[in-house]
Structure formats: structure tokens, C-alpha cells
């Protein structure tokens, strides 16, 4: 009997965004930070923290898929300001981030099962089928991709069969 695995078996919640040049393009900024949109705040909460993260850069060409394991820092850049917050997710230089470009899809998940990484981050190359598949898997519509992210509970009816071979069985 085939055991079906579901997103809820692996992830608690997720946030997503379309990458902007100020976040990822070294010609525009050297900050190495993603803007801390509300969807990230909902899954990462409000405390400053260091987070182990497994990152997978996805393209339609399986030979171009890159994986990294890094430590991210989640913090409020305005923590000393009484009335304003400005959350950021700092990332170190790594192969996945060097390949990422503006308009790529970034999906961040809080993990349930892995001891290695608290978070999993997928970066899907813009305009490729894999980006559409990742959007479908997490229920992100084309209209929602024009909105700056959301935090969601995982749809427990979506099967992990396609992505389990690609993502979850990597050694």
C-alpha cells in the first residue's frame, strides 16, 4: 500500500513573496535581507532569533537545483522605536541566494519533522513551470502573487508525492 504524505506532515505554516531587486540584487543593495512582511511575522513571531534554514533553489532543469543550509537572523530593525517595527530576515551569502533574481518566488515554511532545520525556504525561478507548481502546491493564486505575501495554514489535502522525491529525500 502506498503511503500518501501531505504538506501538514512536514510544515506548520508558510509565508511567501516575490523577490524585489533591493532584497536580492547585489548591484542594487548589499544588505542581504528580505523585508519582513506580515506573513513572515506570523510564522516567525516577534522575538529576535537565529534560525537554521534549509534552502532549495528550484528551476525546471534538475541539474541547476541548488541546496544550502544556513543560519538566518530574524530581527526588528527598529526595536528601539516605540511605535514602529521593521522586521528583516537577514541571510548570509550562499549559492541559492547568489542564483536568486528579482521576481523569483520565495516560500518560507516552518518545519515539523526535521531536526536539521527549523525552516525550509524554496526559491523558484520566475517564469518557469516549477514556480507554477510550487504556487499550486501551496494554494497561491496568480492574483495573490501580486500581493505581498500571506501566512497560511497548510492545506492538508495536497499530496507531497511530486515534491517528496525532489525535496524531502535529498541526502
Q: Which residues in the chain belong to E strands, given as ranges?
A: 11-18, 33-35, 49-58, 66-76, 87-90, 105-111, 119-124, 151-153
pLDDT tens per residue across span 150-162 = 444 444 444 445 5
Q: Any idea where the domains of the chain sit in the sequence?
A: 10-162
* CATH architecture of the domain with residue range 10-162: Beta Barrel (2.40)
pTM for this model (two decimals): 0.79
Angle of CA points 8, 9, 13, to nearest 5°: 35
pLDDT tens per residue across span 90-129 = 899 898 999 999 999 999 888 776 667 788 899 999 999 9
Amino acid at each position: 500500500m502506498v503511503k500518501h504524505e501531505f504538506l501538514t506532515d512536514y510544515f506548520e505554516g508558510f509565508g511567501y513573496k516575490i523577490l524585489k531587486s533591493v532584497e536580492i540584487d547585489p548591484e542594487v543593495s548589499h544588505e542581504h535581507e528580505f523585508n519582513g512582511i506580515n506573513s513572515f511575522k506570523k510564522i516567525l513571531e516577534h522575538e529576535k532569533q537565529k534560525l537554521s534554514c534549509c534552502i532549495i533553489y528550484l528551476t525546471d532543469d534538475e541539474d541547476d537545483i541548488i541546496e544550502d543550509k544556513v543560519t538566518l537572523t530574524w530581527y526588528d530593525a527598529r526595536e528601539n522605536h516605540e511605535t514602529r517595527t521593521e522586521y528583516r530576515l537577514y541571510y548570509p551569502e550562499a549559492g541559492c541566494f547568489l542564483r536568486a533574481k528579482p521576481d523569483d518566488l520565495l516560500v518560507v515554511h516552518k518545519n515539523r519533522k526535521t531536526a536539521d532545520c527549523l525552516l525550509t525556504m524554496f526559491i523558484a525561478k520566475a517564469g518557469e513551470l516549477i514556480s507554477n507548481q510550487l504556487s499550486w502546491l501551496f494554494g497561491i493564486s496568480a492574483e495573490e502573487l501580486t500581493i505581498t505575501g500571506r501566512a497560511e495554514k497548510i492545506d492538508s489535502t495536497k499530496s507531497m508525492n511530486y515534491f517528496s522525491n525532489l525535496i524531502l529525500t535529498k541526502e
